[in-house]
Amino acid sequence: MPTVQLGDQLVHWLQDGDAPILYVHGVPHSGEMWQPFLARTGGVAVDLPGFGLSGKRGDADFGFEALGRFVGDFLDHLGWEHVRLCVHDWGVVGLLAAIDEPARIERVAILDSVPFLPGYRWHFTARQWRRRVVGELAMGFTNGFTARRLGLPAAYVDEVLAHFDEGTQRAILRLYRSAPEDALARVGARLGELRCPALIAWGEADPFIDSRFAHGYAAVLGGEVDLRTYPGAGHWPWLDEPAVLTDVTDFLTREG
């Protein structure tokens, strides 16, 4: 579990072997959520700045575009000329690094991710986090009970709360407040530059991001796309449908 100084922040990640596969988590997780995937494929699961055991400096920029630049810098640190990328939820910031260097990306898997697409509207909890004072109060009252009420699966409550300190709460608020819906759609205008094979795996019962955005991603990516939606599966579809774990890891390790 390496930790290094990268720029002005400490960065922590999990690593299994030397496979050039990068997993990028969303909110409110850390790289730990990818353990079942790492066990099958190897690779790296990084804690984004503000999350897990990575740095949480109070003066840091936790906006989504800054996190996208971080992913690119982190790949440079790893020394990977080519990478296979897997993103979930706000881990979609990895796509910003991908569209800056599309030739670097061999494959990309997108799982129930924040849409860099027109037409998205933030869900209720995100709208509260985007509001001044209201967001801070909501963070202050978060505990195991409220986390489950907000939709976090029981399987992840202990993991998330172990790292859910003031620094992570601040990072989440800054991240959401950096992201009006039109800004998300604007950065997604370049998604067609990604011409590598892509897998889109999405839970049809996701209460936060409708599966129509899975189809939206499939329509704009520039390469061959394998679109798979899973009836009855939610925002963390691999918890509800074991086939997701197999489909994603098979795709990421496929030759060619």
- The C-alpha atoms of residue 128 and residue 187 are separated, in whole angstroms, by 23
Q: What is the pLDDT of residue 11?
A: 97
% residues pLDDT > 90 (the chain): 87
**Mean pLDDT of all residues in the chain?**
95
In the chain, where are the structural domains located? 3-253
pLDDT band per the 50, 70, 90 thresholds, residue 105: very high
DSSP annotation of 90 = G
Q: Is 21 left (phi over 0), alpha (psi -120 to 50) or beta?
A: beta
Query: Who wins on pLDDT, 152 or 220?
Result: 220
Q: What is the pLDDT of residue 143?
A: 72
pLDDT above 60 (res 145): no
pLDDT in tens, 153-175: 988 998 999 999 999 999 999 99
pLDDT above 60 (res 241): yes
pLDDT above 90 (res 151): no
pLDDT in tens, 69-95: 999 999 999 999 999 999 999 999 999
Short-list 8, 26, 1, 21, CA closest to 111: 26
CATH of 3-253, one of 3.40.50.1820, 3.40.50.970, 1.10.10.10, 3.30.750.24: 3.40.50.1820
Contact 147, 160 (CB under 8 A): yes
Strands across the sheet with 3-6, in order?
Answer: 3-6, 9-16, 43-46, 21-24, 83-89, 105-113, 198-203, 225-230
Residue 129 tokens read as: 């986090």
